[in-house]
Amino acid sequence: MEDKVWLICDDRNDLYPGVPCDTVERLMATFDRLTLRRETADFSLTDQHGDAWLWVSFDSANRLGYFINIRELGETEEMVLVEDTTRTQIVSGLIGGQRDERPQFVFVKADTAMQATKYFFNTGQRDPSLEWLPFPETT
């Protein structure tokens, strides 16, 4: 999306307090730092008006993986990235610093999370080659 200016923030606005994110390299550097900061770490990638966004949360305390939800421009419904929906066991994970009970399939591997993040950065949309479910259906 050439005309989009993405803003990147971490969960407490102390790593990247809403600074422009103009390259996928800067985005991926932020993504890579998630595992190093604390027991849970988050960042969001949003357009200037907050109409489209992708939010990434990493549960490093339990090593469950990445939780990603997204809203595309013009949509009102949030979607969650899922992986291997046969993993239906309910697990207790940290999402956004809050303990939450979710099916294990909402925690995805790093390569899947990176693929979704890069695709959104480049297009402002969900990667159609990945599986997404409406947010309420993942509770």
Give the count of domains, the chain: 1
Range of the domain at 33: 6-131
Tokens of 127: 């990667």
105-127 tens-digit pLDDT: 999 998 898 899 888 888 888 99
Q: Which tokens belong to 1?
A: 């999306």
Bigger pLDDT: 18 vs 47: 47
pLDDT at 20: 57
User: Is there a domain that residue 137 lies in?
Assistant: no
Q: Running DSSP on this structure, what letter comes out for residue 104?
A: G
Full DSSP string of 112-137: HHHHHHHHHHHHSS--TTSEEEEGGG
Residue 70 located in a structural domain: yes
Residue 56 lies in a domain: yes
Residue 1 lies in a domain: no
* Assigned token pair, 138: 């993942």
* Residues, the chain: 139
- Condensed to tens digits (0 to 9), the pLDDT of residues 46-56 reads 776 667 888 88
Output phi, psi for 103, to 5 deg. Answer: -65, 145
Strand blocks (E) in the chain: 6-10, 17-21, 40-46, 53-59, 65-71, 79-82, 90-95, 98-103, 131-134
- Domain assignment of residue 36, yes or no: yes
Determine, yes or no, domain membership for 139. no
Q: What's the pLDDT at 137? A: 59
One-letter amino acid of 109: K
